[in-house]
Amino acid sequence: MSKRLADKISIVTGAGSGMGQATTKLFAEEGAKVLAVDISEKNLAQWQGVENVFPFPADLTKIEDIDRIVAETETKFGRLDALCNIAGINDLSYPLEATDDDHWDRVLDLDLKAPFRLMRRAIPFMVKGGGGAVVNIGSYAALRGNHGPSYTAAKAGLSGLTMSIAFSYASKGIRCNIIHPGGMQTNIAENSGGEYHPEGHPRLSNLVRAMPLFCYGEPVEVAYACLFLCSDESTLINGAVLSVDAGMSTC
């Protein structure tokens, strides 16, 4: 039985931890060659010598690093079949009045501008190779607005960006879909650079605990969804919004 991503070339951002780590591992096991992108060289060290994984340190908020990521893919592999925009931070549930411009820009720069820049650079390269699949990682917050304004706006914007690309590039062989995870067992709070806001976080926590099914998912659950959306099993799926949240978005 052939592997589901046999011989496919992929880029996965946020590959050093959490959902990006789980996706990198699963893609490599399923036969893909993965350019594993992360800002932390320490986290990327786990991929040294791992078959099919090529660690690549980069800061996604820097345009020159975006160019380096795609240029490396062009040089090393000659094509790109799948792109998973997974790297991200949240806004630590900062409410509107506590969200200054620096806080807003930090979240939007990584969660929305970086995927936009990477897709702008990578998709024309994918088109030249005959097409491919893009998966963006959004959030349950984009559907319900339960985080602070910066994270909610970034993930809602990413959802709209996904739809625009799905519509505009379908005829060129590009599929673009978005996954909205619910609560996940990741270190996103640590990566987001501080403590949760004392007002915003209890409000979110109380809401989640009151839901009919309260659970935190494992990152591999999102990785399996990425696998499906990047495989040839989903060739008619384009512009889809897939919630991986144990039903949180029904509440």
162 φ/ψ angles, rounded to the nearest 5 degrees: -60, -45
User: Does a structural domain hold residue 2?
Assistant: no
- E strands within 153-196? 174-181
User: Does a structural domain hold residue 250?
Assistant: no
The CATH number of whichever domain residue 86 belongs to comes to 3.40.50.720
User: Does a structural domain hold residue 198?
Assistant: yes
Span 81-107, pLDDT tens digits: 999 999 999 888 889 999 999 999 999
225, two tokens: 């969804």
User: Does a structural domain hold residue 90?
Assistant: yes
Q: Which pTM value belongs to this model?
A: 0.93
Sign of the Cα torsion 20, 131, 60, 116 reads: negative
Average pLDDT over residues 203-222: 74
User: Does a structural domain hold residue 197?
Assistant: yes
Confidence of residue 202 (pLDDT cuts 50, 70, 90): low
User: Does a structural domain hold residue 210?
Assistant: yes
Structural domain count of the chain: 1
126, two tokens: 């994918």
- Pairwise CA distance, residues 57 & 119, whole Å: 18
User: Does a structural domain hold residue 4?
Assistant: no
Domain interval for residue 154: 9-244
Q: H or E stretch including 69?
A: helix 63-77
- Pairwise CA distance, residues 242 & 251, whole Å: 16
Side by side, the strands of the sheet bearing 9-13 are: 53-57, 33-38, 9-13, 82-85, 132-137, 174-181, 241-244
User: Does a structural domain hold residue 48?
Assistant: yes
Span 4-60, pLDDT tens digits: 999 999 999 999 999 999 999 999 999 999 999 999 999 999 999 999 999 999 999
- At residue 96, the 3 state secondary structure works out as helix
- Pairwise CA distance, residues 181 & 217, whole Å: 8
- At residue 136, the 3 state secondary structure works out as strand
What amino acid positions are annotated as catalytic residues?
Answer: 151
Residue 33 bridge partners (DSSP)? 9
- Pairwise CA distance, residues 192 & 114, whole Å: 15
